[in-house]
A = this chain, B = another copy of it.
Amino acid sequence: MKSNLAVLKYGGSSVSSFDKIKDIATYVKTRVDEQEKLVIVVSAMGDTTDILLNNIQQLNKNPDDEHVALLLSTGEQQSISYLAMALADLGIKAKPLTGAQATIKTTAQTMKSRISSIDEDYLNGLLEVNDVLIVAGFQGMNEYKQITTLGRGGSDTTATALAAVLECHCEIYTDVAGIFSIDPRIYPDAKKIDMISYEEMMEMSFLGANIIETRSIKIAINNNVPLYIAKALSKEKGTWIVSEKKLLEKNIATGIAVDDEVIQVDINHPGYSSELVTDVFTLLEKNDISIDLISQIEDEGKNHYSFTTKSEDKNRLTKCAMALQEKYPDIEISLNEDYVKVSIIGAGMMEAPGVISKIYKTIIENNMRIYQISTSGISISCLVDEVNGGTIARLLSKEFDL
Contacts and interface: CB of A to CB of B under 8 A. Distances in A.
Given A58-B18, A59-B21, A85 B101 contact: no
B70 A96 contact: yes
A362 interface: no
Interface residues of A, number: 37
B80 A60 contact: no
A354 interface: no
A358 interface: no
Q: Name, among A22, A55, A70, the residue most crowded by chain B CB atoms within 10 Å (CB to CB).
A: A70
A86 interface: yes
Interface string A55-83: 11011110110111011011001101110
Nearest to A86: B59
A1 interface: no
Interface in A179-216: none
A146 to B, nearest CB: 8
A67 to B, nearest CB: 5
A86 B60 contact: yes
A85 B58 CA distance: 10
A75 to B, nearest CB: 8
A182 B96 CA distance: 46
Given A67-B96, A74-B77, A78-B71, A55 B86 contact: no
Nearest to A19: B58
Contacts of A146: 101
A73 B73 CA distance: 12
Contacts of A21: 59
A55 B85 CA distance: 11
Contacts of A98: 70, 147
A84 interface: yes
A141 to B, nearest CB: 9
B81 A67 contact: yes
Contacts of A86: 59-60
Contacts of A70: 77, 80-81, 84, 96, 98
Given A18-B55, A56-B85, A88-B60, A74 B78 contact: yes
A145 interface: yes
A333 to B, nearest CB: 40
B78 A64 contact: no
B55 A67 contact: no
B64 A84 contact: yes
A59 B18 contact: yes
A55 B22 CA distance: 13
Interface string A92-103: 000110101100
A50 interface: no
A279 interface: no
A338 interface: no
A47 interface: no
Given A22-B59, A55-B18, A78-B74, A84 B101 contact: no
26 contacts: A18-B59, A52-B78, A59-B82, A60-B86, A60-B89, A61-B89, A64-B84, A64-B85, A64-B88, A67-B84, A67-B88, A67-B96, A68-B81, A70-B84, A70-B96, A71-B78, A71-B82, A71-B85, A73-B77, A74-B74, A74-B77, A74-B78, A74-B81, A77-B77, A100-B100, A101-B146
CB-based closest 5 A-B pairs: A71-B81, A74-B74, A60-B85, A60-B89, A59-B85
Interface of A: 18, 21-22, 52, 55-56, 58-61, 63-64, 66-68, 70-71, 73-74, 77-78, 80-82, 84-86, 88-89, 95-96, 98, 100-101, 145-147
